[in-house]
Amino acid sequence: MNRQPSPTAAPQPRPGRAALAAFVGTTIEWYDFYIYGTAAALVFGKVFFSSTMDPGVATLLAFVTFWAGFAARPLGGIVFGHLGDRVGRKTALVITLVMMGLATTGIGLLPGYAQIGVWAPAGLVVLRVLQGIAVGGEWGGAVLIASENAPKHRSILYAAFAQQGSPTGNLLATAAFFALSALPTPSFLMWGWRIPFLLSAVLVIIGMVIRLRLEESADMQRVLARKRTVKLPLRDVVRDHWVVVLLAAGTLPVINVTYFRSTFALSWATKTLGYAQGTFLGILSISLVVQFLMQPVGAWFVSKVDMRRAMCWILIPEIVLMPVMFHALATRSYWVAVAGMCISTIPSAMFYGAVGGVLARVFPANIRYTGLSLAYQLSALVVGGGTPVLAQAILNATGSIVGVAVASGLYAFVSLVCMLVLLNRTGYRADELSTAERSDAAEWGTEGGSAEPAAGGTAQPGEGGALKPAG
């Protein structure tokens, strides 16, 4: 006998379309974000600061403007998390894309220090802050659009589509500057570096067409239909889930090793080790392809086994491999550098592919956007943007890469400890509902715990919240 759908039943989700839309949108946003990091390493110290300044200090200040975007990301997470939990994920994601496109195009049009003096770095910081606010609201929404439309036993794997936007955007940004590296240096500094920023306007139009056709996530539709939105999601997150937020933020330092590997290493390798700009950008591009390939492998692996065991297998090697990478680069041998960069990329890529879906499980649906975004952006504020600043400061103070190598290994250690504590608290099997998902399922009924029942079964919040076979 067929059951009639209830008036509040969510429309049939389209996980494939949602995952593709998340991938395209995050690719554009991360492209915009990463071209800034590349330009900060190669250009901004020369264009937006006085030519009489010491080059090392100018590079350090350029990295400080890079960090300004990270400082603004928690604000973006709060503002767009509130909007996404109150109105819907789709609305928030459309606004973040427009904001990012306008800020990035503005950087491409901004005059340099020679034209407008101190207003140049001031304008750069303002536009970078707008970029940070936009990306602060983007990541959590994109992960949720993908994961909340997926069957719960596959939510980590579908969330990885949103994560794929990071290496793809980074690869596009690196490729753009690689192509422009053939320009004579005066032409590159005068106008060549602006081209990747101005291309953002075209990419944003493409992204807008896709996002405006996107449907709201299945879980959010249930929240809206049952009138379960809360007035101040941030208040509820801080009051009731602050421990989970701090633990979730503590899992994320390891994803910021990419700024050791790209932003800082690009500056160090070209200015200290003597790598040609095009050569090192090519090495980075190869490592980004490895990252793109390994992220879904990590999501699949974490979905199949005890997540605590999976995270140990992924993160323990990273503690050793990041320091090894710096020593590989220091050999100045092209193939040794390629091997060091690619091998050190594998563990952090596998972790990044899985972590979005893992963290999306630890918050209830009606405050999930705010909780997820706040955790991610707090880590970005404390660790992310400060990574190249920290690395450059250590290098300036010691003249040695050893301290930088040790710091990069510590990132992975902190992430592992916090992840194990978090999983023990919230649930550590992908084929079972987490504690937050069981709470939602208890209120919504057995159909409320997942966007779509597992094949041949229903999501039952019984003992452990496991996805049990029907019958």
Which pair of tokens denotes residue 318? Answer: 């990273």
Q: How far apart are CA 77 and CA 446, in angstroms?
A: 31
The residue ranges of DSSP E strands in 309-447, in sequence order, are none
Task: Give the CA radius of gyration of the chain.
Answer: 22
Structure tokens given for 261: 């590997």
pLDDT for res 41: 81
The model's confidence at residue 465, banded by pLDDT at 50, 70 and 90, is very low
Please report, for the chain, the start and end positions of each structural domain, with discontinuous segments joined by +.
Answer: 15-451
- Identify residue 283 by its one-letter amino acid code: I
Q: pLDDT per residue over 155-174, tens digit each?
A: 899 999 999 998 999 889 88
The pair of structure tokens assigned to 122 is 């001031």
The pTM of the full predicted model, rounded to 2 decimals, is 0.81
Which pLDDT value is given to residue 207? Answer: 87
CATH fold of the domain at 15-451:
Growth Hormone; Chain: A; (1.20.1250)
- Asked whether the beta carbons of 404 and 395 are under 8 A apart, the reply is yes
Which has more confidence, 29 or 128? 128
CB 375 within 8 A of CB 249: yes
Q: What residues form DSSP beta bridges with 458?
A: 468
Q: Stretch 68-93: mean pLDDT, rounded?
A: 91
Percent of the chain residues past pLDDT 70, beyond the cut: 91
pLDDT digits 0-9 by tens, 435-448: 877 877 777 664 44
What is the rounded CA–CA span in Å between residue 378 and residue 247?
11
Instruction: Report the half-sphere exposure of 295 (CA within 13 A, side-chain side).
Output: 24
* Cα–Cα distance measured from residue 237 to residue 247, given in angstroms and rounded to the nearest whole number: 13
Residues 207-249: tens digit of each pLDDT: 888 888 888 888 888 888 888 888 999 999 999 999 999 999 9
Q: Name the nearest CA neighbour of 217 among 79, 363, 368.
A: 368
Give per-residue pLDDT as tens, 390-422. Answer: 888 888 888 888 888 888 889 999 999 999 999
pLDDT at residue 463, rounded to an integer = 36
- Does residue 464 or residue 221 have the better pLDDT? 221
